[in-house]
Amino acid sequence: MSRFHIIEHPLIAHKMSVLRDKETKTPLFRQTLREVAYLMTFAVTQHLDMVAVRIETPLEVADCHQLKAPNPCLVSILRAGNGLTEALLNILPEASVGHLGMARNDETLKPEKYYTKLPNDISARQVILADPMLATAGSTIAAIDILRDHGVKDIVFMCLLAAPEGGERLRKAHPDVPIFTAALDRQLNEKGYILPGLGDAGDRIYGT
Ligand code: PRP
Ligand code: URA
């Protein structure tokens, strides 16, 4: 799986153990997910386009670099994706934010689309698509299909946990989209849940 990046770091590994623990309650889960997202940001944003600028410091002119306009767009796959995008937005406040509502049908495991709101000029922006879970990859593939339909060329996908089955499916459907994950798990169970996993990310973030 080229373009598949597992972000290895002692702090991420530690915090993932907290997220996986069934005893971790919603407030700590949400806080820890935010912290993992912060730690992943460095890798996930490494490719962002820059422009050279000259800035006057209080002492002299300095040659600097800034994010190229239009600034990147964070796209959240609702609802669990909001946990990641809200964290990224703290570090990247210049970003615009798009939302794609997808609910996975418990029986068919297919994503059902219920909401789309994207910036009008999204085709000109670099997109960071976020969802904590890449299970069958149905939701992620459907989200990328929508972004492609809107003319988006540059997309990276960020998650916390990926299943090998979903990683492979996503790679086949969209080979040009890099995948950044905090961990690659063993397999899916018969209900499409990631093993060992962390359970239902949306339920654990929002206490439902
Ligand atoms: C979860 C998760 C992903 C999707 C992953 O969302 O956040 O969006 O399932 O599964 P897949 O790779 O098999 O498509 P869910 O549909 O449960 O919605 P929620 O975020 O509202 O909880
Ligand atoms: N969605 C989740 O939230 N968790 C899984 O393990 C699979 C899909």
CATH architecture of residue range(s) 4-206:
3-Layer(aba) Sandwich (3.40)
Q: Where are the domains of the chain?
A: 4-206
Confidence of residue 1 (pLDDT cuts 50, 70, 90): very low
Q: Which of 49, 121, 176, 203 is catalytic?
A: 203
Confirm or reject: Cβ of 133 under 6 Å from ligand 2: yes
| Most ligand 1 atoms within 8 A of CB, residue of 139, 170, 191 to mutate | 139
Nearest to 161 by CA among 177, 147, 182, 146: 182
What is the per-residue pLDDT across 146-160, written as a single tens digit (0 to 9) for each? Answer: 999 999 999 999 999
Q: Which of 30, 34, 104, 169 is catalytic?
A: 104
Question: Which ligand minimizes its atom distance to the CA of 198?
Answer: 2
Nearest to 23 by CA among 199, 202, 206: 199
pLDDT reading at 2 higher than 80: no
Q: What is the pTM of this model?
A: 0.97
How many CA atoms lie less than 13 Å away from 8 in the CB half-sphere? 2
